[in-house]
Structure 1
């Protein structure tokens, strides 16, 4: 079967992020369910050469790592994007601005000793290919004043204070990070271990991590930031031509036979089944 519409997985953590991305899917949207229960919705984006497999995975680095691994093994995508919201760490970011992460830090590693905290950071650079496409797609026009290509930092803590221990740690050890969120380091680690999938994080700034999160949220900052991030992601995918190989066509789950062989037979999967199509045919023989 010709691989005409290779797959990109888009991960989201929150319903507001999922909804923002899903609004961009067109045509027939098909729900697919992994044998473990993980669900994605697969659809197309107008003028883009990709099938999008959209997942809402919940918050945190552990969820992101585990489900990135599962979804890449199941759907064999060319790339995984995390699209959502984040807290801003620098004064030059405004609510609604978009950060395309050039690097993702995992900020919680370290050693606590009598003379203080000593960071032991891990970091993963964004895909060069996707980063270059993002710069081209988001250059000029309305995007030029909204988009920042900078590092972000990620960990399992919601930061809502500019005078906390964590805030000081980030300023001291991760001085170039402009936003904080809770999932991208897990995605980046899983993709790094996979070795065959490229990643990119795109985040809309919904608060300033300064103790005023409740006011920003009440003003509707989360939906606005999520919509901006989703629109930026769609612009990148429209610009990015398909690359690589081995992805499942049109979002179909990949069935692997003992090694690296992937078999597609018109929607009927032969051999060990790693996922299922809801109400779709399957060969149980």
Structure 2
């Protein structure tokens, strides 16, 4: 059976984020799953990686569901969620990049008469991808990168004095950025065999009243461009796992004389008809 390229699945929520990543991918070709999901597959130059790029839309629950479907379809070795975010730290500037060391889902808790008792949920990022990112950004003088937790919530934060902003400061004080999809993608990757996953976000605003003005000035395009550049640099550093190239499930093919052939190990009825179960082993199983 021919060896296929290892796949890195890169996910975005917004069209401008998709465009920023797409600019790095060559020889693109669109693929459509029977369920309707679409990806563009292409090559990341000077690497062994095949990129599968998909725009999922907004929201963590949506990201979790669609990421799970994409993982089951494409069998990637690494999953990235890439795009823009609001900065939560004073030393973060527009265009800086936050590489998520872990991802917080900020809405977990129990409401009691004494107030909300927070039940934090956090997923750590892949150590291998984080280490590749730390190595990669050393060679990127035009990028200011920060390795910090990222908070995910179903909210666009545009008021730094709001109740939710105070909630984040009190309960997720080390978070460097807030966005809306990272925890969903990270959870999907974690539940699929602890697949390597990393959230990379460019800072497009300061999560305050100046968000609209910053967006109008092109901050989102700059932030998305920087996040995409860091993601590609990570994949330049990160090596695929040996002996575990991806293999998509291949559709059955028609054989000679009306028989049915399945991949390399095959059943070939040569025009005959068989009624009943077939049990067998591949060569690899027989050699164990």
Q: Normalized against structure 1, the TM-score is what?
A: 0.85
Q: 1:264 deviation in Å?
A: 8.5
CA separation of 1:162 and 1:195: change in aligned 2, threshold 3 A: same
Q: Match of 1:212? A: 210
Q: Is the 8 A contact 2:9 2:78 kept in 1?
A: yes
Consecutive unaligned residues in structure 2, runs of 5 or more: 253-260, 268-288
Give the counterpart of 1:200 among 195, 198, 201.
Answer: 198
CA separation of 1:264 and 1:215: change in aligned 2, threshold 3 A: farther
Q: Is the 8 A contact 1:75 1:247 kept in 2?
A: no
CA separation of 1:264 and 1:140: change in aligned 2, threshold 3 A: farther
- Between the aligned partners of 2:215 and 2:118, the Cα distance in structure 1 is 31
Q: Normalized against structure 2, the TM-score is what?
A: 0.84
- Between the aligned partners of 1:46 and 1:158, the Cα distance in structure 2 is 35
Moved more, 72-81 or 188-197: 188-197
Q: 1:205 deviation in Å?
A: 0.3
What pairs with 1:231-270 in structure 2 (closer than 5 Å)?
231-243=229-241, 246-248=244-246, 253-255=248-250, 265=263
- Between the aligned partners of 2:243 and 2:84, the Cα distance in structure 1 is 31
Q: Does 1:73 align with 2:68?
A: no
Q: Is the 8 A contact 1:41 1:55 kept in 2?
A: yes
Consecutive unaligned residues in structure 1, runs of 5 or more: 258-262, 271-285
Q: 1:256 deviation in Å?
A: 9.0
What pairs with 1:118-133 in structure 2 (closer than 5 Å)?
118-133=117-132
CA separation of 1:247 and 1:184: change in aligned 2, threshold 3 A: farther
Q: 1:111 deviation in Å?
A: 1.5
Q: Is the 8 A contact 1:76 1:247 kept in 2?
A: no
- Between the aligned partners of 2:120 and 2:235, the Cα distance in structure 1 is 30
Q: Report the 3-state secondary structure (helix = DSSP H, G, I; strand = E; otherwise coil) of the residue aligned with 1:142.
A: coil
- Between the aligned partners of 1:154 and 1:141, the Cα distance in structure 2 is 27
* RMSD value, Cα: 2.1
Larger relative contact order (Cα-Cα within 8 Å, sequence gap ≥ 6): 1
Q: Report the 3-state secondary structure (helix = DSSP H, G, I; strand = E; otherwise coil) of the residue aligned with 1:84.
A: strand
Per-residue displacement from partner, 1:66-91 (whole Å, max 9, x unpaired)?
Answer: 01100110000001001100000110
Higher Cα radius of gyration: 2
Q: Match of 1:18? A: 18
- Between the aligned partners of 1:13 and 1:245, the Cα distance in structure 2 is 32
Q: Is the 8 A contact 1:207 1:217 kept in 2?
A: yes
Count of residue pairs brought into register by the alignment: 257
CA separation of 1:210 and 1:84: change in aligned 2, threshold 3 A: same
Q: Is the 8 A contact 2:4 2:245 kept in 1?
A: no
Q: Is the 8 A contact 1:76 1:254 kept in 2?
A: no
- Between the aligned partners of 2:158 and 2:22, the Cα distance in structure 1 is 28
Q: Report the 3-state secondary structure (helix = DSSP H, G, I; strand = E; otherwise coil) of the residue aligned with 2:5.
A: coil
